[in-house]
Amino acid sequence: MYKAPVSDMTFALEALQHVAPQLMETMPDQEMRDVILNEAAKLAGDVLAPLNHQADKAGGAQHFEDGSVKTPEGFAAAYQQLSDGGWTSMEGSETYGGQALSLALSSCVNEMWQASNMAFSLCHLLTQGLISALQHSASEAQKNLFLPPMIEGRWTGTMNLTEPQAGTDLAAIKTKAVKQGDHYLISGQKIYITYGEHDMAENIIHLVLARTPDAPAGHKGISVFIVPKFLVNEDGSLGEQNDVTCVSIEKKLGIKGSPTAVLQYGDKGGAIGYLVGEENQGLAIMFGMMNHARFNVGLQGLAMCDRALQQAISYAVTRVQGTPLGTDAGSPIIHHPDVTRLIGQMKAESEAMRALMLYGAALLDKAEEGDAAIQQRADFMIPIIKGWLTEQSLIMTSHNVQIHGGMGFIEETGAAQHYRDARILPIYEGTTAIQSNDLVFRKTLRDDGAEITSLLAEIRADIAHISADNAILADLATELEVACQATEGAVAFLLSQQNQPRIAAAAGVPYLMMLGTLTGGWMLLRQGTYAVSALAKPDADTAFLENKLASLSLFTALSLPQVAAFAKTISKAGTAIHHLSLDQLTA
């Protein structure tokens, strides 16, 4: 079963408040924070987690000939509990009935949802993304009509981008939008629409990318439309069903409980849609919500890592197999040195990932105030958070299977489900390769390395301060400086390849993973300064705080050395691939 890591979350929030108070000004007071986290933990553990494995075993949602979809047993009632408890309103603007909680706090709640039952919680996450998009880009009339019911939890939302011939390449979309009076008629097919049809809410609001007849070719000709499942009257009541049908749901490797729909628009003349913003501005609007969406997928990666860690520990402290070196017969497998290593690395990296996720959330919170420098740093960190955390989820869920041994390969334990569920995370909302291209070309080469140079300077400022004032952390700070030097060399190499884009692109994923590991270590070192200061207090939880320092030591020993390895790969991989004949791969 799942137990939300409330103490770890609280520590991470307090540590970030300690080292970067300017980023945490929108956090509620401690009492409110604790109430929110503890109540969310109960819902995650008692309601959502028990539904997770049973939905996977049952095969997920069911699709019927009339286009309706029935979600797994218990999902609809659980969503009603989220709505009744006000959880669907966390991030919404107060103007439309939301709580306007800081992303740093709501992200902790969302981590609980995703870790306890990712297939179920995708619906909530997508609806929050749509709420964010409409708050930023819709007209006031559209906001007043569509936002309150979604914030209340009565309606849910989707994003409709992908088509059979247009995945990553959105320029290839063919869905049509023909103007008719004050609305448009939408026709075409969209695929991979998570919760595109379900029985958990009374209406579903689709945000659909489409082209008008005279739109320019390519990316410049894309518009975005609100297309409700049921038409909405001026008073907010529901009218007749729109011309949108779920023709099937996909059979998937993982997250089976979530219905991934194929939606057909316009079989009866055209689905009524309402333009958001102006014609041909759709891609700009969608990319405006991409930071939010990609951040949340990174959060899902963290959630799967924590779920795998909890399950691995639970199994390793009870399973007896062989006699671990240096122990007595009957000792559980956690005493085997390699199992100790795997769990230690999983724990340290999970804590680094949570700290990095919260740093990103705090940046996004602060960026809402219009601070250009903070927005630039947030933009730089998002592909790292999305890419590193999701790639790590594949490694950690695999470690969990490994620790279970043969039992991990058996579906009954649930370890295999987490492994399968995590596999989508480095793919949707932009693959790891797309994140790395963004990081290399838009976030590093375009500004001639200015932002990464600024980031390294900030890390080194922390290292200098810690080295001078904190003997406990000085050695660890020194190791982080070595990692900074390796990173600096890799950045210099990439900057030297500005006229060789294929070489830079081939080095992109190692570059992203290097920066994820580096900044994860930086976040843990920052947390270490808070742990040391907290240990000096008379009421300190000594064991808990020393565990945090142990995680820092483990990360420094087991993970941080990878920075140098990634840096070396960056300087070699692109050139090797550039000179490789594809015949050598395909012959």
Give pLDDT tens digits for 488-509.
999 999 999 999 999 999 999 9
Pairing between strand 176-180 and 244-249?
unpaired
Q: pLDDT tens digit string along 377-419? A: 999 999 999 999 999 999 999 999 999 999 999 999 999 999 9
Average pLDDT over the chain reads 95
Summarize the confidence of residues 515-523 as an average pLDDT: 98
- Check if the beta carbon of residue 435 is closer than 8 Å to that of residue 294: yes
- Residue-level pLDDT at 575: 81
Nearest-5° angle of CA 535, CA 536, CA 539? 75
Strands, E assignment, 113-182 = 155-160, 176-180
Q: How many CB atoms lie within 10 A of CB 66?
A: 7
Quote the crossing angle between the two packed helices 75-84 and 118-137, to the nearest 10°.
Answer: 50
Summarize the confidence of residues 277-281 as an average pLDDT: 95
Active site residue 429: yes
Tokens standing for residue 340: 């100790």
Q: pLDDT tens digit string along 332-362? A: 999 999 999 999 999 999 999 999 999 999 9
| Percentage of the residues of the chain whose pLDDT score is greater than 90 | 90
Q: What is the pTM of this model?
A: 0.96
pLDDT band of residue 466 (cuts 50, 70, 90) is confident
Residue type, 258: S
Q: How many CB atoms lie within 10 A of CB 253?
A: 11
The Cα–Cα gap between 420 and 343 comes to 20
- Residue-level pLDDT at 390: 98
Which DSSP category does 269 fall into?
A: S
The Cα–Cα gap between 372 and 195 comes to 35
CA 62 centroid distance within chain:
27
Which DSSP category does 215 fall into?
A: P
Report the Cα–Cα distance between both ends of the chain, in Å, rounded: 49
The runs of H, that is alpha helices, within 368-449 are 372-404, 415-422, 432-437
Q: pLDDT tens digit string along 11-45? A: 999 999 999 999 999 999 999 999 999 999 999 99
SS (H, E, C) 6-42: HHHHHHHHHHHHHHCHHHCCCCCCHHHHHHHHHHHHH
pLDDT band of residue 538 (cuts 50, 70, 90) is very high
Contact residues for 90 (Cβ-Cβ < 8 A; gap 6+): 98, 99, 101, 106, 109, 128
Catalytic residue among 152, 197, 351, 429: 429
The Cα–Cα gap between 571 and 576 comes to 9
